[in-house]
Each structure stands twice: as structure tokens, then as C-alpha cells.
Amino acid sequence: LLSGRETIGSSNMENDVSLKFHQQLLLISENLVTEDVTALKFLCMDLLQLSKLEGVKTGADIFKLLMAQEYLNAEDTFLLAELLYRIKCHSLLEKLGYTKEKVQERLHEKGRVSPYRQMLYELSENITNEMLKEIIFLLQSHLPKRWITPCALDLLTLLEKQGLLTKDNVQILEYIFKTVSPDLLEIIDCYKKAKGFLPLSNNIYHAKACGVSVCLVKFLNLTDKLKCFKEYLNLRGQKFCNIEKCCRQNGHTSGVIHTSVHVLLSLIKAKHSAFTISSYKMDGPHRGFCVIINNVNFNSSQRKGSCKDAEQLESVFTWLGLDVRTYTDLTSGDIINLMQTWQHVQDHKDRNCFICCILSHGESGAIYGTDDKLVSIRVLTTHFTAKQCPQLAAKPKLFFIQACQGNNIQSPVYVDTDGPTPDSSPVQERVSLSESIPEEADFLLGMATVDGCVSFRHIEEGSWYIQALCRKLQLLVPRGEDILSILTQVNEDVAKRVNPSGRKKQMPQPAYTLRRKFIFPIPMAPPPL
């Protein structure tokens, strides 16, 4: 009898787990829009039969197919987590007990989406509506008559159905993007170079005679990377064992492979000059626009010293070849309207980059207009995504924000804070820096301070962050340094400073999705100093 009760209890528990699991899946499905479902279908094409995928209308339909093939169950939800991660539905991961970071950590051992499928999806994410029209025009002879393409993924699927595109033959993509968007050829080249690694026994990868490519790091899992580099260096008489032994003696387990790969990358980079990260194109006749928003006069306060920052930024970015436009004392509505105006400027097409500097009060993930109303930094930056601003597609977009990101009030002598006064400080949730930039390539966001903290501004000399940024740009651009190296030096410079009382410090923080190095061409004229 006792045994029977235990069996019944166990069965009830299993039913409860199954019910909870299906409820989770239904909730996730309800939060997926049509574009998300289309993306999931595409990423599952190597896992599920195309004939079954064609009948899919909702996320729940896909989940049923994955469960039927035993890819998904209550005990193992990682494949779904991977899919949600790849379509950037990061907020839904918590419903499965995952975070973006946890998924990233396990992708190397449990990831199922093939490098080929990843490459195609990454391309689709960069194809704007205008580019899609051009692609359809180029492929007229290959497309059914009067065929309407709802999205880039549908076009790629059609090319696969027709046998024009396979994991071993991507020539048609090269033909397309050589004409439509040469910058996107890098994604295809990266995939092809990774494919150039020949499989050996036990999934060890060995580089061809042409040498190791950085693309291997992107498309092979970490275990295979380690084996590849091990094999690669051993074949050339290098001592790999000392590196591996050092990592393990330091007590690393999951980090061993990461550490070893980074060490090996450094070694290979030193031996192969071809192993370098390319730079963004910055040799056009027009460098780009630099928009400066300088909010000084608020209803309840004045940001003294901000005009000094604005003058310095104008001087330095003009010296760097940008066309600088400055706007003073904008309300929250004015700021959004200004972003919409610059979003539609056709002259971006002939420029290499876009830079926006905002000097104002702020809160976590937002800045204030002079009407004391908040504007989300993410709202501002997303005006310039590839789809919203096609003229800047695949071009670097840099945003520098001088504003507090917390409510702490600092009032030492000669030092002011770029945060609101207590009366105008609403209760606000913290926003991580990564959430303030679009989840697509080619953005950089330089913040004066980390989330939750104040940033300092001298009422005569300007803010610590902007003044350090201007100094380091003038010092390091002539030396050929890239922007991330420059911002690292800015961090060091600001971190060394303290307020007059010796108790207040500040640490800037950059976030970026840049795919290449961003290097300003060295100006002919001397720095404005």
C-alpha cells in the first residue's frame, strides 16, 4: 500500500512538473510576435522537417515539433533558451530559469544552431528594407513571377529550397552583397574561413596552410578551439603544455578553455600579421556628423561648466573632421524630435560615421530634458539602427553621455553633480548599460559613470569625463589608437581623480557592439588643445 501511495505521489509530481512546463511554453509563445516566430522557424530549419515548419503559425507550434523530436522537454530547455537568445528575446529567458550570460556560457557545449544558420540569420538582421528591394531586383531571374518577399528570411529560405544556397556553397550571397552592401561580405568571409578548418579525429580541427583565422573563434565551440590551437601550435613545434598547465594550476575549470584560447590567440597574432581585426572605413570625403546636445538651464537648476564641455567637444570633433552641430537647452520632446530629424538626414549616406554627445542631468538609463522629464537612452539610440536609419547601416554610431546615472547628491566645493535635485528625483528602476544600446552591431555608448552613480562637473572647468575624453582624443588619435583603447585611458584618467574633499570618485563605463576597430584618421592640423 505504501509503495502504491509513493507511485501515485510520484505520478502527481510529474504531472505538476509537466503542467508547469507547458504553462511556461504557452506564456513564452504568447509573448512572441510574428517576426519572432519567423526567426525561430528559420533557426530550426536544420533540426526540423521543412514541410512541418511550413505549417507553423505560433511559437507553441514550434515547441510541439521540438518536443516531438525530443529536442525539448521539462528537464532540458536549453535549445529553446538558445533560440530565444539568438533572436534577442532575452527577457523571456528568465521564464526558463536562464539569463543571457548563462546561455552564453553553455553555448559552446550545448548549442545546436549551426554556424551556417547563424551566419544567414546574422545577415538577415543587417538587411534593411531598401537593401531587400535591391536584392530582389538582382535575383529577378531566380524568383517566381509576382512573388512578394515578406522579409529577408523568406528570401534566404527560397534560395535554399531552389538549391542556390547551401552550407557548402554561398556564392550567391557573395554575388548579392558585393553589389548591395560590401560591408556584409565580412560575415560571409568569416563563415567561409571557419569552414576552411578540416575535421580530424575526435572533432579536432586543424588549420589549412593559409593560417589561423579569427573566424574560427566565432564559429567553433570552445572545446574544439582549444584542440585546434593545441594541434596548430604542436605541429609547429610550439610548447602548448605550459600554457594549459598554468591555467589548471590556477584552479580554473570552465575558464580553462577561455583562458587558453585567449593566450593562444595572442601567440598566433604575434606570429601572423594577417590575424588582425579590420577597421571601419573612415577614408570618405566626409567624416560624418557630430550632434551635441547641451542642456544647461533647467526649471530648478543650472549646469554650470557644461558650456566648457560643449566648446571642447566642438573644437575636438571639428579637428577630427566631423561636421559639428550644437543644440542648447532642449526639452524631452525636443530631444526626441531632434533624433527623428537626424534619423532621416539623407547626407548620412555619404558619411563614414555618426557621433552624438549629450550633456545633461540623468537617471539610470535615461537623461533629462530641460522640462525635467526623462528620455530613455535606448529610445534615442534606436533611432539609428540599420532598419530605422538605412543610411548608417554597417557604419559606426558613437554616443557619449555626460549625465548622472543615480540619485546620490554630491555637493563639495567647486564640484557639481549631473543628477536631479531631491525634489525632481522620481523613483526609477535601474537599467543596465547593455540595455541602453540596440542589440545590433556598430554601436558604442560611452557613459560618464557606472549605473547608479553620480558624475562630477567642475563649475568652471567642465566635467571630469568630457574633459578627459577631449584630452585623450587629442593625445591618442595622432598615435593611431582605436576608440576602445582611448576610452580605456579615459577610464584610467577619471578614476585617478578625486573631489576636493578627497572622498568622491568616478568611473566611466563604455558599452559597445562594434564589429571592427574604430580609428579616426590622423588630422593634418595640430590638436586644438
Per-residue pLDDT tens digits for 350-362 = 999 999 999 988 8
Same domain, 27 and 138: no
- Which cell is 192 given? 567561409
**Is position 509 within any domain?**
yes
pLDDT at 275: 41
From 56, 86, 113, the end of a domain falls on 113
> Which active-site residues does the annotation give?
361, 404
Res. 256 pLDDT band, cuts 50 70 90:
very low
- Residue 146 lies in domain: 118-195
Q: Are residues 109 and 129 in the same domain?
A: no
305 and 392: one domain?
yes
Q: Is residue 257 part of a domain?
A: no
216-230, 372-386, 440-454: range with lowest mean pLDDT = 216-230
Same structural domain for residues 397 and 472? yes
Q: What is the pLDDT of residue 245?
A: 44
Q: What is the pLDDT of residue 302?
A: 86
Say which range, 167-171, 334-338, 466-470, 490-494, has the weakest mean pLDDT: 490-494
Q: What is the pLDDT of residues 99-147, one digit of tens each?
A: 988 998 888 888 999 999 999 998 998 888 888 888 888 888 888 876 6
The phi, psi pair for 400, rounded to 5°, reads: -120, 120
**Percent of the chain with pLDDT strictly greater than 70:** 68
My answer on whether 494 and 378 are in the same domain is yes
| Mean pLDDT in residue range 419-427 | 43
More confident residue, 267 or 34: 34
Rounded to the nearest angstrom, the gap between the alpha carbon of residue 192 and the centroid of all alpha carbons in its chain is 22
Which cell numbers hold the place of 68?
516531438
d(CA 81, CA 89): 9
CATH number at residue 176: 1.10.533.10
**Residue 300: per-residue pLDDT:** 81
The answer on 399 and 504 residing in a single domain is yes
What's the pLDDT at 507?
65
- The structural domain count of the chain equals 3
Contacts of 151 (CB under 8 A, 6+ apart): 35, 38, 124, 132
Residue 472 resides in a domain: yes
Determine the average pLDDT of the residues in 501-510: 61
Q: Is residue 56 part of a domain?
A: yes
Q: How far apart are CA 215 and CA 521, in angstroms?
A: 26
Question: Worst-scoring range by mean pLDDT, 90-99, 166-175, 429-438?
Answer: 429-438
Each residue's pLDDT tens digit, 291-343? 999 999 988 888 887 888 999 999 999 999 999 999 999 999 999 999 999 99
336, 391: one domain: yes
Whether 397 and 486 share a structural domain:
yes
Residues 25, 150 within the same domain: no
Out of 146, 179, 195, a domain closes at 195
Report DSSP state, residue 273. Answer: T
Spatial contact of 476 and 485, defined as CB atoms under 8 Å apart: yes
The DSSP annotation for 143-202 comes to SPTT----SHHHHHHHHHHTTS-BTTB-HHHHHHHHHH-GGGHHHHHHHHHHHTSEE-GG
Residue type, 326: T
Decide if pLDDT at 11 tops 80. Answer: no
Nearest CA-CA partner of 361 in 413, 313, 428: 428
Kindly state whether residues 302 and 367 are assigned to the same domain. yes
Q: Which of 195, 214, 234 is the last residue of a domain?
A: 195
Q: What is the mean pLDDT of residues 30-36?
A: 88
Same domain flag for 133 and 94: no
Q: Are residues 442 and 374 in the same domain?
A: yes
Look up the CATH number of the domain holding residue 396.
Answer: 3.40.50.1460
- Order of strands, edge to edge, in the sheet holding 415-417? 415-417, 456-458, 462-463
Write the CA distances from 80 to 210, 222, 274, 283, 427, integer angstroms.
37, 21, 37, 43, 35
C-alpha cell read off for 529: 588643445
| pTM listed for this prediction | 0.48
Q: What is the pLDDT of residue 254?
A: 40
Could you tell me the pLDDT band of residue 2, with boundaries at 50, 70 and 90?
very low
| 422 lies in some domain | no
Residue 39 lies in a domain: yes
Q: Could you tell me which residue, 462 or 264, shows the higher pLDDT?
A: 462
Task: Give the pLDDT band of residue 505 (cuts 50, 70, 90).
Answer: low
Q: Which residues pair with 68 in a beta bridge?
A: none
For residue 525, is it within any domain?
no
C-alpha cell at position 515: 564589429
Query: What does the pLDDT read at residue 71?
Result: 93
Predicted confidence at residue 133, as pLDDT, reads: 87
Assigned domain for 109 exists: yes
